[in-house]
Amino acid sequence: MPTNTFNKLPSAGSGQLLLCLLFFLFAFMARAQTAWYKSNCPRSQKQAEVWYFGEKAGIDFRSGAATAVVDQNVMNSFQATSSICDSLGNFLLFTNGRTAWDNTFAAMPNATGLAGNPRATQPCLIVPYPGDPTVYYIFTIEMVNYDKLDSMHFSSQGLTYTLIDMKLRGGLGDAVSAVLNKPLLTPVCQKITAVSNHDHTGTWVIVHKWDSNEFYAYLVTASGITDSVVSAVGSKHFAPTQIARNNMVGYMKCSPDGSSLALAVTYDKLIELFDFNNQTGVISNPRSYHVSRPVVNPYGIEFSPDGKKLYASVLDYLGGPIPRKPTCIYQFDLSKGLNNPVIVDSAGGIRFFALQLATDGRIYGSRTNNMLSKRDSLEVIYNPNRPGAACNYNLLGNFPGTRFDLLGRKSIYSLPNFVQSFLNIPPFTWDSVCHGDATQFKITNTANIDTVSWNFGDGGTSTSKTPVHTYAKPGTYWVRLTEYCRGEAFVDSMKVTNYPLPHIALADTVLLYSGSTINLHAGGGFTDYLWSTGSRDSIINVGSQASYSVQVKDIHCCVNSDTSFVKVFEYFIPNAFTPNGDGLNDFFQVSALYKNITFKMVVYDRWGQLVFQSDNIDKGWDGTYGGRYCPPDSYVWIVNIGFLGKDIITQGDVVFNGTVTIVR
């Protein structure tokens, strides 16, 4: 409800009255609701839409479908890279851990000597700075370098970070010299992952210390990088022999929802799974799986979009140019822990290394043998949420062996490394969630769907792959999508909220007395305001007769509008009258006042004697007192008004006052 303030000014000389009367009509009448635009807040999690990796390879997901790109010719990377867009999908930078390049593919001048080692499994990770959308951290991992066969002496910068300010170099960005290769922890394994904290105010960056069973989780917030949360849990990553130093390698990933963490301990043939508390940073509840197949070792790790499946690439990591054993892709159903994985595919004569979830809901895998035998396509798990063979490894429609073509570019051993929360993608999305709008539903991953059925939670259904549904009333509804493929049904359910339009408390009509101004208040708590005057404030001050409209937007990007008509009320109070019975100007009274009021007028002579009073708006003073004509003189009058209608809200009565002269 708007706040109303009434300013009462005394009359000026010669009976002229300067009044500032502020009051609002407050009507709960049904009115047409006008939407600003037919959409809820636009998706703003597009940071992982552009990939650059391998031997000048790239993929762009911004069109909604994966598209190979060949526009960069500056980076060859053996292992994981990292690239990032802003939240709206505008590409910013990429790195291999040693050099950072801008979106024109030019090296940033101060970022050509980063401390990451491009031969490490995960040498780098770009993380947004929560306090400024134009600032980013690049975290880097350097390999532990032992002195020949000496297991006691090594050199490594370990985990370091560099600050990239995109405002530098005219918006192309550069490393901040004062925050370049800042050390955090050494020695560390060749693994780094990240995920948002519980309230999305920061990002957890997680590494594993070498020669230890300790995880270190650092929270990146608007205040900087916090002290680490240390969790001593799971196996010790160490090297009792020289060849066991391969326990440093292998991937580590958080689940997109931030609830789990998994990694490969390559030489020890372990796949480990943990719970992750994304509020406290604590890692707990270790579970492990030992790869019993001879010769092959785990390396790549990735979660399905819904976090219910875990995938691992298991390959002949230590063999020669031609693998002795086929590479296998394991799928774990995490409702059963790490028991009895399903081998969804295996291939001889080639190695599958990295696995990376993409924003199209599919998992991509790098494939190569060695630096001399590279491949120009990626493996694809088309439906990673589905169990076993139904995940459709390299199977699209009825065409097996359907890989993703890199247009002649090569993936080598790895793919980009992202903050996993960027990939927390739902099975379907929707827009226009404001009441009265038609809600458009869209399936995120359209691969291998024969038919679908929808249940919108309010009795409505559809068999369209892109249905539109209008909810009769606001509320939260369970929407169920069933996908059918080759006779099998796969079900996903999500809560969809249809939000009420924001309520605006503008009055239908505001009465404004001539010479004064009034505040129109659209109400507080909205994210955006737009008045017909062009103002974007919640309150405007007006002083002329007109219709004034406002559009407001709330946190759900639902929009409503309202209009108030400001009417200038021309009242009249004379400063003199001639009560002589000639029928002209014989009475002193207020004319043209709003009628639905309480009214009281009193008149005093110059000695303070009450000579007239009335509560009848239509009855004026005839210039008499006690049946006698009052002498010519100036008299003080006071008018007190209270509003009776429910459409008028005041902070008290309105008082007029002034003087009037009897002329005879």
Assign domain 50-423 to its CATH architecture: 6 Propeller (2.120)
* pLDDT confidence bin for 71, thresholds 50/70/90: very high
Contact 344, 296 (CB under 8 A): no
C-alpha dist (Å) from residue 418 to 122, 259, 379: 10, 16, 19
Match 């249940």 to its residue by tokens.
455
Place of tokens 């007192």: 625
Instruction: Report d(CA 110, CA 174) in Å as an integer.
Output: 6
Per-residue pLDDT of 503-538, as tens digits, reads 998 888 887 766 667 789 999 999 999 999 999 999
Kindly tell me if the per-residue pLDDT of 7 is higher than 90. Answer: no
Q: Could you list the beta-strand ranges (E) of 615-663.
A: 624-625, 628-629, 634-643, 648-649, 654-662
Domain boundaries, the chain: 50-423, 428-498, 571-662
Q: Tell me, yes or no, if the two domains 428-498 and 571-662 fold the same way.
A: yes
Q: What is the distance between the alpha carbons of residues 195 and 584, in angstroms, rounded to a whole number? A: 86
* 139 Cβ contact list (under 8 Å, min separation 6): 124, 125, 126, 127, 159, 160, 161, 192, 194, 205
Contacting residues for 521 by C-beta, under 8 A, at least 6 apart? 2, 3, 505, 538, 539
d(CA 394, CA 400): 6
Q: How many CB atoms lie within 10 A of CB 619?
A: 13
Question: Given pLDDT bands bounded at 50, 70 and 90, which one contains residue 370?
Answer: low
**What percent of the chain shows pLDDT beyond 90?**
71
Tens-place pLDDT, residues 258-295:
999 999 999 999 999 999 999 999 999 999 999 999 99
Separation CA 170–CA 167 (nearest Å) = 6
Give the whole-angstrom CA distance, residue 187 versus residue 628: 108
**47-59 exposure pattern, b = at least 16 Cβ within 10 A, e = fewer:** bbbbbbbbbbbbb
Ramachandran bin of 623, using left for φ above 0, alpha for ψ from -120 to 50, beta for the remaining angles: left
State how far the Cα of 73 lies from the Cα of 530, in Å rounded to an integer.
47
For residues 73 and 336, give the distance between their C-alpha atoms in angstroms, rounded to a whole number: 45
| pLDDT tens digits, 624-663 | 999 999 999 999 999 887 767 544 444 456 777 899 999 9
428, 492 Cβ separation under 8 angstroms = yes
pLDDT of residue 643: 67
pLDDT the model gives residue 373: 73
Mean pLDDT of 332-352: 90
Q: Hey, what are 420's tokens?
A: 């996993």
Q: What is the pLDDT of residues 560-610, one digit of tens each?
A: 999 999 877 667 889 999 998 888 999 999 886 766 778 899 999 999 999
Which residue in the block uniquely carries the two structure tokens 């880097």? Answer: 140
For domain 571-662, is the CATH number 3.30.420?
A: no
pLDDT over 70 at 25, yes or no: no
Give mean pLDDT, residues 545-571. 89
Considering the segment(s) 428-498 as one domain, its CATH architecture is: Sandwich (2.60)
